[in-house]
Amino acid sequence: DRVAFVGVPVDHLSQPDNFNLEQFEYQVTQPDTESAARMLLFMLTQLDCHYGQWGPQFSAYTPGTSLEGLNPVLCTRIAGAVTTLFSRPDFTVSDGGYVQLMNLHRWLALIFAVSLYRHADHIIRNINAAGGGVVDPLTLNSHNLRLFCLCYFPDSQIALQPDVLWQYDRRTVARLFLALISGRTLPTSAAHGKREQLLAWLPDRLAELDSLDFLPTAVLHDVYMHCSYADLTEKHRIKRSLNDLIRRSLLAGDFKDIAVGDNRGQTATDTPEVQGPPKKPVLLVVLEWFTSQHSVYRTHSRALAALRGHFIVHAVGLDTAVDAVSRQVFDVFHPVSTDTALPQAYALAGELRPDVVLYAGIGMFPFTIYLSNLRLAPLQLVGLGHGASTFCGQINGFVIEEDLVGEERCFSETVIRVPADAMPFVPPADVRRVPVTRTPFLTRQQAQWREPLPVRVAVCASVMKINPNFLATLAEIERRSRVAVRFCFYMGFAQGLTLDYLRNAIHAVLPGAEVNAHMPVQAYQSALNSCELFVSPFPYGNMNGVVDA
């Protein structure tokens, strides 16, 4: 896991265990850039681990800075130091360094987006092979291509030319293209437009790559999932290309389709004894997020528990993503660790030889995407844990309630319609609904006679679903409304730098909007009671938002 950035031995420096901004700002000016590069990698890794928050191993001296303005100040200072580091003629990035930094590309982009720079186009001009500071033409070569990719962000104002970049070095730029598609928060026209462009252009080209080694595997699941939030009609086509590449890579390695001809009722000898008829077929449920606070538990737990009347129900999931309450849904739960989830789950399927594999959803975790490309059972199904087709040849059917189907042509799988009430929702565990006494809006409006009382409209959406067209629609509603309207954003996962970025993007379109950080479920439900209406992006902002609002 040690990476040389400038071609010097790496063992002479220990890996950093903290990030101090003042030390980083100084280190980028010193002859040995290796220490600064290591500090940058460590800081980006911490942002990734803490979902956009600095974390306890970050420190900076910021006297006189208010808490509200702290992140823009910190990001501007970090972006300035990165500008110094990346603009140095003696700074280059090794193969390993490029791989690691591109896996964290989104966090570097977010730092610049929250800073006063907004993007890193100025660094690209600094490293222009046509001359430092030259705007046009922009010339790339073997020396500056990796730095160009590291500095080309969703909000870049430099036109994206995928054909030219691909012809020059497809293995290098493939990481950039997938990083641009994978972004969790693309609320601006520039960022959203790049994803649209690449989703139309890239799927056919991925077949030209013969290995996953040239892709940012740490964020492939985000490409798979976040393409759902594009506007393009063929936005899911990239899944087919990724699935083909993943399956070829798996079969070329240590994996193969499991023989399923004689698997009826075979269970592993080391699993706990299960009560029930001896000839029940075996069902293996593959889980992603399934804690008792998560929306997938709310929407699927009762239906999955009911399957125990007909199957011996085993489930496999990350030990950190399924809690003690949600494990009780199944006859047997098999925890796996993040680092070895794929081989562990694959080995489990080989022991159980299930009659049916049911994925609660596919798209949130890497191991489920990889596993879905192997034939583990005669019948393999997917549920609505992530409400989009898989475009995977090994998945036979999509189980969905009949009132949510829409157009069947949107699915690559056979649509298995179940009654509208077949998956009854449950409340999240350990959440008590507090009855609220609401004063009618007209009564409150009459009491506030000095100025119009705005109609509060809750916007319920995960951060991935905030896009420029949705924001423009809200602005048009506000413009046309005969009464004052205030949109109140309650966004899942809006925290840290992500919240700062979204707040800026939302206020650029809706200056009077109320933008809130991610809330626990109980606080979220209480906050919704302060609003008269709610809106969400099509088809829904998130399942919690639909149910609670």
Which structural domains are found in the chain, ordered by start?
Answer: 1-158 (no CATH), 161-253 (no CATH), 282-418 (3.40.50.11380), 441-548 (3.40.50.2000)
Distance of CA 483 to the CA centre of its chain: 37
What's the rounded Cα separation, in Å, for the pair 22 and 39?
Answer: 11
Label residue 414 left, alpha or beta by phi (over 0 means left) and psi (-120 to 50 means alpha): beta
Give the full edge-to-edge strand order of the sheet including 312-318. 332-336, 312-318, 282-286, 356-359, 379-382, 397-401, 414-418
β-strand pairing of 282-286 with 312-318: parallel
CB atoms under 10 Å from CB of 388, counted, come to 21
Q: What is the pLDDT along the chain (549 residues), one digit of tens a residue?
A: 444 444 433 444 578 999 999 999 999 999 999 999 999 999 999 999 999 999 999 999 999 999 989 999 999 999 999 999 999 999 999 999 999 999 999 999 999 999 999 999 999 999 999 999 999 999 999 999 999 999 999 999 999 999 999 999 999 999 999 999 999 999 999 999 999 999 999 999 998 998 888 899 899 999 999 999 999 999 999 999 999 999 999 999 999 999 554 444 444 444 555 555 567 999 999 999 999 988 899 889 999 999 999 999 999 999 999 999 999 999 999 999 999 999 999 999 999 999 999 999 999 999 999 999 999 999 999 998 888 899 999 999 999 988 888 888 889 999 999 998 888 888 877 777 777 777 788 887 777 767 788 999 999 999 999 999 999 999 999 999 999 999 999 998 999 999 999 999 999 999 999 999 999 888 888 898 889 999 988 766 666 656 665
Element (H, E) at 489: strand 485-492
Q: Would you list the DSSP string of 377-444?
A: SSEEEE-TTS-S----TT--EEEEEGGG---GGG-SSEEEEE-TTSS---PPTT--PPP-----HHHH
488: three-class secondary structure by DSSP: strand
